[in-house]
Amino acid sequence: MNFEEFTTFISRSLESRFMLVEQDEYMNSIVSLASDNLKEIKAYRFYRDNPSIEQNKYLKTLLIAGINKLINLKEVLEWTALSKDILIDPETSDIYLFIFWHGETKPTLEECLRIEATEDFCRKFVLRPDENEVSFIERTFIYMQKNPIPLDLGVDPLLSTFSDLGNQYSWFDEAEQKKWRLAFNSNMNGNELFNLLMDYKTDIL
């Protein structure tokens, strides 16, 4: 799989869930901000297909970069930071980076996980060793979850999961479970929910 095949698959996957914007005031600027050393880049701007809902009117931004040496990672992150700087709120919280790593220098799984774990600038997803495009998409916001198998209506799966976690981790007590339950039942987006839950965890560690 090469970079063009990868971005084509991403584009088709985006189209299945979102409305892509062919061109807007930011597209050319975003691409022009990339270093000359970044030969394989792509930017997408898109929104949910129901613009009548207020939060769906704002555009999301996806940056894709193909790199083949470790030194290019820094330039990709610099490009991401510059791109985020020209966006307006709240669109700055809806920017994502996909990294397509190819060539002789490939990262280990541990390196991929380390890159993905950092929340600097945006949420990141790295194509992992021996991972195909389908399994990659299934880890991202693009993937649409299938309808779950009907559950016993007498059992709340969230409460059941929290109870199991509480048995494993002493810090996840009843008060902590209540905070997390309220967070999961809120209307927060993914980034807001992640930041809130991490704040909860930090408070008790």
Q: In this predicted structure, what is the pLDDT of residue 149?
A: 47
Q: In this predicted structure, what is the pLDDT of residue 170?
A: 72
CB 27 within 8 A of CB 43: yes
**Where in the chain are the domains?**
3-137, 157-204
CB 185 within 8 A of CB 178: no
- CB 94: neighbour CB atoms within 10 A? 21
Q: pTM to 2 decimals?
A: 0.67
pLDDT one-digit tens code per residue, 116-172: 888 788 899 999 888 888 989 888 888 765 544 444 444 566 677 777 777 777 777
Q: In this predicted structure, what is the pLDDT of residue 52?
A: 54
Q: In this predicted structure, what is the pLDDT of residue 62?
A: 94
Q: In this predicted structure, what is the pLDDT of residue 78?
A: 93
Q: Which residues of the chain have pLDDT under 50?
A: 53, 55-56, 147-154, 204-205
Q: In this predicted structure, what is the pLDDT of residue 76?
A: 92
Q: List the one residue out of 118, 108, 136 whose CA is nearest residue 198.
A: 118
Q: In this predicted structure, what is the pLDDT of residue 57?
A: 65
Q: Are strands 95-101 and 60-67 parallel, antiparallel or unpaired?
A: parallel
